[in-house]
Structure 1
């Protein structure tokens, strides 16, 4: 059980990231999940719900509700998938793309204030360590 300190560090790091990131996203008028969906769809062609779920790591049940709320707000649209009529293609509307173009760079600037405290070498080390950890699962 020598992995418990690593696990604790991983969880506390994620919590610290959420504590830093979430208030900024909320100030932009979005939930973290809404931001994740908008950031994933921004500057991208429409994608299926399955693809969106895989790219955002949002559970299917949560994703369905978030998509409905964003559609109601006119931020995204769903169209029948021309390659498979059983699925839908999800993409940002013009209003959604403009929202993406506003909130995404603002949030990146916010995150940059923290990440700029690490050198390029340190960032690479963190990335490599996280990749190593991910690959054991």
Structure 2
């Protein structure tokens, strides 16, 4: 198999795998009445702490208008709070509320186990190699 065919096959494999993983994760987070984007925002806040709306947009790769909408929805569910920066009133931070923090503490371990199980077909060395290869691929793609 030549390099072009290997690249095309790899691309198709990544896309198929990504689609299957997305279905698994969507089903998992739907159990908590969250969609994938809402969960992604909450997971970011859970692990990285308060973020600006712009920071959230950049880290979870969604459009600005969608980011605001998702944060609005999470705020309606009382999972996040908005905090205006005391030094620059133009900047608003988003943080998990107590309710949001409690939910993530309850559901994240199960979610992480679901992800872990999804990779059960790979041994530890293969999983480590996949992680390194994907990081390398992403660094190359970032330069393009």
- TM-score, L = length of structure 2: 0.86
Aligned residue in 2 for 1:12: 16
Aligned residue in 2 for 1:41: 45
Aligned residue in 2 for 1:70: 74
Q: Which range moves more in the overlay, 88-97 or 15-24?
A: 15-24
Q: Which range moves more in the overlay, 37-46 or 70-79?
A: 37-46
* Counterpart-to-counterpart distance in 2, 1:21 and 1:95: 22
- TM-score, L = length of structure 1: 0.90
- Runs of 4+ that moved beyond 6 A: none
Select 1:52's aligned residue among 56, 63, 71: 56
> SS at 1:14's partner residue?
helix
Matched, 1:93 2:97: yes
Per-residue deviation, 1:4 = 2.1
Per-residue deviation, 1:105 = 1.3
* Counterpart-to-counterpart distance in 2, 1:55 and 1:116: 27
Per-residue deviation, 1:44 = 4.1
Q: Which has the higher strand share?
A: 1
Query: Which structure 1 residue ranges, 5 or more long, are not aligned?
Result: none
Aligned residue in 1 for 2:108: 104
Per-residue deviation, 1:28 = 2.1
Query: Residues 43 and 97 of structure 1 are in contact (CA less than 8 Å); yes or no, is this contact kept in structure 2?
Result: no
* Counterpart-to-counterpart distance in 1, 2:82 and 2:48: 14
Per-residue deviation, 1:39 = 0.8
Q: What is the Cα-based RMSD across aligned positions, in Å?
A: 1.7
* Counterpart-to-counterpart distance in 1, 2:86 and 2:47: 20
Select 1:31's aligned residue among 14, 21, 35: 35
Number of corresponding residues: 137
